[in-house]
């Protein structure tokens, strides 16, 4: 019985897709780490700002709260970018191993979302 969901690509193309998926996963993880640092900076600016800035300037607590909100909003807005890239990497690896064109189509859908997010 023939599988209708096979990817008809050469072994070299599969190897290239595998390498691209590994790099995409690495870059996505680095993006998650960067967002984690951004969230840590947001909380540390809130805490340290309230302690230090409130003693130095009259509205120091307000300034640190504004920094906290700005960095937290930036982290939330940037979160989909590495998420879409990570999902592309995982689905591409699954599609290559399983020779499944449906999973590959889903993978390319995640790449489309990633590209659209990066372009905007």
pTM of the model: 0.84
DSSP 50: I
Exposure b/e, 15-43, CB count within 10 A at least 16 = b: eebeebbeebbeebeebbeebeebbeebe
Q: pLDDT (tens digit, 9 = 90+) per residue, 55-90? A: 777 777 788 888 899 999 999 999 999 999 999 999
Question: Could you tell me the residue ranges of all domains in the chain?
Answer: 12-119
Q: pLDDT (tens digit, 9 = 90+) per residue, 10-58? A: 899 999 999 999 999 999 999 999 999 999 999 998 888 878 776 777 7
């Amino acid at each position: 019985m023939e599988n209708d969901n096979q990817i008809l690509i050469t072994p070299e193309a599969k190897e290239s897709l595998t390498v691209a998926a590994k790099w995409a996963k690495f870059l996505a993880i680095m993006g998650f780490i960067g967002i984690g640092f951004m969230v840590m900076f947001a909380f540390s600016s809130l805490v340290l700002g309230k302690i230090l800035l409130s003693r130095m300037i009259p509205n120091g607590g307000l300034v640190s709260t504004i920094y906290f909100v700005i960095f937290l909003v930036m982290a939330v807005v940037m979160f989909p970018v590495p998420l879409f890239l990570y999902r592309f990497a995982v689905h591409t690896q699954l599609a290559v191993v399983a020779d499944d064109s449906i999973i590959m189509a889903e993978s390319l859908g995640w790449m489309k979302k990633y590209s659209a997010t990066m372009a905007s």
